[in-house]
Amino acid sequence: MSSISPFVAIRRDLHKIPELGFQEFKTQQYLLRYIHTLPQERLEIKTWKTGIFVKVNGTDPRKMIGYRTDIDGLPIKEETGLPYRSEHEGNMHACGHDVHMSIALGLLTHFAEHPIKDDLLFIFQPAEEGPGGAKPMLESEIMQAWKPDMIIALHIAPEYPVGTIATKEGLLFANTSELFIDLKGKGGHAAFPHLANDMVVAACSLVTQLQSIVARNVDPLDSAVITIGKISGGTVQNVIAECARLEGTIRTLSVDSMKKVKERIEAMVDGIKVAYQCDAEIDYGSMYHQVYNDPGLTAEFIRFAEDYPEIRFIRCKEAMTGEDFGYMLADIPGFMFWLGVDSPYGLHHAKLAPNEAAIDQAIAFLTAYITWKGNK
Ligand SMILES: CC(=O)N[C@@H](CCC[C@H](N)C(=O)O)C(=O)O
Single-letter residue type at 348:
H
pLDDT digits over 213-224, tens only? 999 999 999 999
Residues 323 and 100: their CA atoms lie apart, in Å, by 14
**pLDDT, mean over the chain:** 97
Mean pLDDT of 106-112: 98
CA distances from 125 to 7, 155, 195, 285, 363 (A): 19, 13, 51, 19, 19
Domains recognised in the chain with CATH numbers: 6-172+290-375 (3.40.630.10), 175-287 (3.30.70.360)
Binding-site residues, please? 95, 97, 129, 155, 348
The residue whose CB lies within 8 Å of the most ligand 1 atoms, and thus the one to mutate among 258, 262, 321, is 321
The reply to whether omega before 295 is within 30° of 0 (cis) is: no
Residue 1 has pLDDT above 80, yes or no: no
Residues 334 and 294: their CA atoms lie apart, in Å, by 5
Binding-site residues for Mn(2+), please? 95, 97, 129, 155, 348
Residues 327 and 348: their CA atoms lie apart, in Å, by 22
Residue 2 has pLDDT above 70, yes or no: no
Question: Could you tell me which of 290, 338, 281 has the C-alpha nearest to residue 173?
Answer: 290
Name the pLDDT band for 3 (thresholds 50, 70, 90).
confident
Continuous H helices in 277-352: 295-307, 325-331
Task: Give per-residue burial for 220-246: e unless 16+ CB within 10 Å, then b.
Answer: eeebbbbebeebebbeeeeebbbbbbb
Number of neighbouring beta carbons within 10 Å of residue 306: 12
Cβ–Cβ < 8 Å for 190, 238 = yes
Residues 97 and 363: their CA atoms lie apart, in Å, by 15
pLDDT confidence of residue 371: 98
pLDDT digits over 286-307, tens only? 999 999 999 999 999 999 999 9
Residues 342 and 340: their CA atoms lie apart, in Å, by 6
CA of 77 to the centre of ligand 1 (A): 17
Residue 348 has pLDDT above 80, yes or no: yes
129 is catalytic: yes
pLDDT digits over 167-207, tens only? 999 999 999 999 999 999 999 999 999 999 999 999 999 99
Marked catalytic residue, from 72, 118, 128, 129: 129
70 is catalytic: yes
CA distances from 267 to 32, 118, 274 (A): 49, 53, 11
Residues in contact with 63: Cβ distance below 8 Å, sequence separation at least 6, in sequence order:
118, 119, 148, 149, 150, 374
